[in-house]
Amino acid sequence: MSGLKFNLVVIMALMLASVQFHDTVAQTTHVVGDALGWNIPPNGPSAYTTWASGQTFRVGDVLLFNFTTGFHNVAEVAQAAYAPCTTANPISIATTGPARVTLNAPGTHYYICTVGTHCQIGQKLTINVSAASATPAPSPTPAPVIPTPVSPPTATPTPTPTPAPSTTTSPPTSSPAPSSDEASPISPPTFGQSPSGSNAPSPTDTTILPPPSPSSAPSFTTVVPFTFLAIALAFFYYI
């Protein structure tokens, strides 16, 4: 913050110096009569008339009257008092030389020396003052720009993909094949009727059913009907 205050003070000082510089440039100091100064002219009033014709007077300019104090003075008078060199009731008067008179208003201004007959023998001046020229206002020096800290961009989190529901179908669990022990017993056919079904033995079929698998030992209740069935079939077909 101290550095910023120092910069502001420097900028204000530069602006003030710039305004004063423009005022100094706009203000022109005119040395009345140049080398002649403010004295009794040797060739009459034409000396100051010729000098004034080569000058440009504007509001704010300064007239510098160089004279010796006690020998001359300079008084601004009205137009009516200028031609007859009337010294009574001047607008302003300066008795100490050199005298500086600032031109504060546009128009025609009249100056004479009120000492003795100096005005009558040519120590008098008429000038025309124009309005002050438009001086462009000084451009203010821009204040230093303090950069605003920029926050780093916040990283947007990447959305986690939602896993798709599994469409894999579990294979159906196969039911275990029934063991031979769980097989239903075959009922023997009734005598006097032909056995039905494609698996029934034909009259000429004498094939004996194979014994059960040794992996499962037949129970007594299963072996007895098969033996009885074989004897019954043999008896039925061969009688």
The tokens for 112 are 């004479």
Residues in the chain where the model's pLDDT stays below 70: 1-26, 133-228, 234-239
**Domains of the chain, first to last:** 2-130 (2.60.40.420), 188-194+201-237 (no CATH)
CA distances for 51 relative to 33, 61, 103, 212, angstroms: 6, 16, 17, 158
How far apart, in Å, are the Cα atoms of 173 and each of 80, 168, 169, 170, 180? 137, 15, 12, 8, 21
What's the pLDDT score for residue 85?
96
pLDDT at 81: 97
Q: Is the pTM of this model over 0.75?
A: no
